[in-house]
């Protein structure tokens, strides 16, 4: 008796993508949720970094970690000036809690496969081509998104960053030390930055625009300004059974009202607001909380709308706190200004991708409200992004997806961009 025939495809790149993707698929995956727990400097993320180092070395690339823990794998063929500004591509391995598998790793896997494509066709770059893996892009462990690229570019001081803590009170410095990295080397790295001539990040699309447009791949135009705010609600802890309703000063009520206000204000302003994380003290079923911290993630098309959103949420929270006999403090934790990707670079990449994929529609140019290391680097070097269609449109959740065929199209698109940028 013969079993079912194995699923094969006529496209060898799809097979290569599948094989490489399978190597990462189990790392840090929670079998219960199907989501990934790949926090920065955790065992799972370190396993991914080890995988990256092995794969890069297998290709003859020289791999280095910078003082901030970002990894750099250089392809510098003989005759190429190693000091020449490189064409850099890459992304990150870390995930949000129970996040999807594509956000980040797709950019790194695609970068390695794009290099393979270029080599297979005998292409030799005229300048270094580098694959980068940035640390703590999501801020899923220490709260500050794009930590590795912010440190590299001086967007956050080492002193501040190294003192950030995770939910167990472990500092960045301690986590680095535990992973064998030297935190005293963290900080701005102008030499490394000067060696980035151009940065192109491939990423799974975080929305459904490409599905609706019928295109496997798009390029990014801009990133909405966004940020994170900690809302500190303070009331009076007390007994859940014996405290008369009239005597309560319950910060959970103020928080609950603020969650609804954030949603309403974002809808009113055409912006996005989310409260997806709360910490309650003492977090007991039979105690009125003494304190609730809630984190507001707010994003809008421009700075004015973002400021209006955060001000309105803060005002609603304060008004409700007065009525509840509680207090609220709004503490900004991070700030990501609007990013306009380099228009000439974006056009150039769209043209190269179009010539390669010859799709039924022109390569769409899309704005995004998601943050990326590319957004941080865009303030320092010409930067662009390539998006790969996501049929679910979902991201930061387990059913984030991209088909193997679209991932192969993404690799071809990235290879076309790299060839164009690194050629003579």
| Residue 371 partner contact from Mn ion, ligand GLV, none using kind-dependent CB cut-offs of 5 to 8 Å | ligand GLV
Residue 71 CA from chain centroid, whole number: 16
| Residue 104 partner contact from Mn ion, ligand GLV, none using kind-dependent CB cut-offs of 5 to 8 Å | Mn ion
| Residues in a beta bridge with 292 | 233, 280
- For ligand GLV, the closer CB: 67 or 101: 101
| Residue 108 partner contact from ligand GLV, Mn ion, none using kind-dependent CB cut-offs of 5 to 8 Å | none
DSSP helix/strand/coil, 211: helix
Give me the least distance between CB of 294 and ligand GLV, in Å please: 17
Determine phi and psi for 175, rounding to 5 degrees.
Answer: -65, -40
Residues binding Mn ion: what is the number (CB under 5 A)? 2
Give me the least distance between CB of 179 and Mn ion, in Å please: 21
- For ligand GLV, the closer CB: 145 or 312: 145
Do residues 49 and 179 make contact, with C-beta atoms less than 8 angstroms apart?
no
| Residue 158 partner contact from Mn ion, ligand GLV, none using kind-dependent CB cut-offs of 5 to 8 Å | none
Query: Strand runs (DSSP E) across 205-344, as ranges?
Result: 217-223, 226-234, 238-239, 272-281, 287-288, 291-299, 327-336, 339-340
How far from each other are the two terminal CA atoms of the chain, in whole angstroms?
A: 57
Q: Which of 136, 138, 250, 400 binds ligand GLV (CB under 6 A)?
A: 138
- For Mn ion, the closer CB: 66 or 103: 103
Give me the least distance between CB of 371 and ligand GLV, in Å please: 4
| Residue 324 partner contact from ligand GLV, Mn ion, none using kind-dependent CB cut-offs of 5 to 8 Å | none
| Residues in a beta bridge with 275 | 296
Q: Which of 135, 144, 145, 271 binds ligand GLV (CB under 6 A)?
A: 145
- For Mn ion, the closer CB: 104 or 375: 104
Do residues 378 and 372 make contact, with C-beta atoms less than 8 angstroms apart?
no
| Residue 145 partner contact from Mn ion, ligand GLV, none using kind-dependent CB cut-offs of 5 to 8 Å | ligand GLV
Cα–Cα distances in Å, from 347 out to 127, 136, 139, 238, 301?
A: 21, 30, 31, 61, 22
Do residues 63 and 55 make contact, with C-beta atoms less than 8 angstroms apart?
no
Examine residue 400 and tell whether it contacts ligand GLV (CB under 6 A).
Answer: no
H or E element that contains 266? helix 251-269
Do residues 117 and 13 make contact, with C-beta atoms less than 8 angstroms apart?
yes
Residues binding ligand GLV: what is the number (CB under 6 A)? 4
Sites for Mn ion among residues 67-126 (CB under 5 A): 103-104
Torsion of CA 172, 173, 179, 184, to 10 degrees: 140
| Residues in a beta bridge with 187 | none
| Residue 129 partner contact from Mn ion, ligand GLV, none using kind-dependent CB cut-offs of 5 to 8 Å | none
In which residue are the tokens 């060696």 written?
Answer: 195
Sites for ligand GLV among residues 345-374 (CB under 6 A): 370-371
Give me the least distance between CB of 175 and ligand GLV, in Å please: 20
Residues within the interface to Mn ion (CB under 5 A): 103-104
Residues within the interface to ligand GLV (CB under 6 A): 138, 145, 370-371
């Amino acid at each position: 008796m013969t079993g079912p025939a194995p699923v094969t495809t006529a496209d060898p790149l799809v097979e290569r993508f599948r094989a490489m993707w399978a190597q990462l698929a189990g790392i840090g995956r929670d079998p219960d949720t199907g989501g990934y727990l790949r926090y920065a400097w955790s065992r799972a993320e370190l396993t991914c970094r080890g995988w990256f180092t092995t794969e890069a070395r297998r290709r003859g690339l020289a791999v280095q970690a910078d003082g901030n823990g970002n990894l750099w794998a250089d392809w510098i063929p003989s005759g190429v000036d190693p000091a020449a500004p490189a064409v850099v591509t890459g992304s990150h391995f870390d995930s949000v809690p129970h996040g999807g598998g594509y956000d980040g790793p797709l950019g790194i896997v695609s970068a390695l496969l794009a290099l393979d494509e270029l080599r297979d066709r005998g292409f030799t770059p005229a300048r270094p081509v580098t694959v980068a893996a940035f640390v703590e892009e999501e801020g899923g462990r220490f709260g500050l998104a794009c930590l590795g690229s912010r440190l590299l570019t001086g967007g956050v001081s080492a002193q501040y960053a190294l003192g950030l803590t995770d939910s167990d009170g472990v500092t960045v410095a301690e986590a680095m030390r535990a992973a064998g990295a030297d935190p005293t080397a963290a900080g701005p790295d102008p030499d490394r930055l000067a060696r980035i001539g151009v940065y192109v990040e491939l990423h799974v699309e975080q929305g459904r625009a490409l599905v609706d447009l019928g295109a496997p791949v798009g390029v990014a135009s801009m990133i909405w300004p966004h940020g994170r705010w900690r809302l500190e609600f303070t009331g009076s802890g007390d007994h859940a059974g014996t405290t008369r309703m009239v005597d309560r000063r319950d910060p959970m009520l103020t928080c609950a009202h603020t969650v609804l206000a954030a949603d309403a204000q974002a809808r009113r302003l055409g912006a996005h607001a989310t409260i997806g994380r709360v910490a309650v003290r003492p977090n007991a079923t039979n105690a009125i909380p003494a304190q609730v911290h809630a984190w507001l993630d707010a994003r809008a098309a421009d700075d004015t709308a973002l400021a209006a959103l955060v001000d309105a949420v803060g005002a609603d929270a304060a008004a409700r706190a007065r009525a509840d006999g509680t207090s609220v403090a709004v503490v900004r934790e991070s700030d990501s200004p609007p990013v306009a990707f380099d228009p000439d670079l974006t056009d150039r990449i769209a043209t190269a991708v179009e010539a390669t994929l010859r799709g039924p529609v022109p390569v769409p140019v899309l704005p995004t409200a998601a943050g990326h290391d590319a957004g941080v680097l865009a303030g320092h070097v010409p930067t662009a992004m390539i998006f790969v269609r996501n049929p679910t449109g979902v991201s930061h959740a387990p059913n984030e997806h991209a088909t193997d065929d679209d991932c192969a199209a993404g690799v071809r698109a990235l290879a076309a961009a790299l060839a164009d940028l690194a050629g003579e």
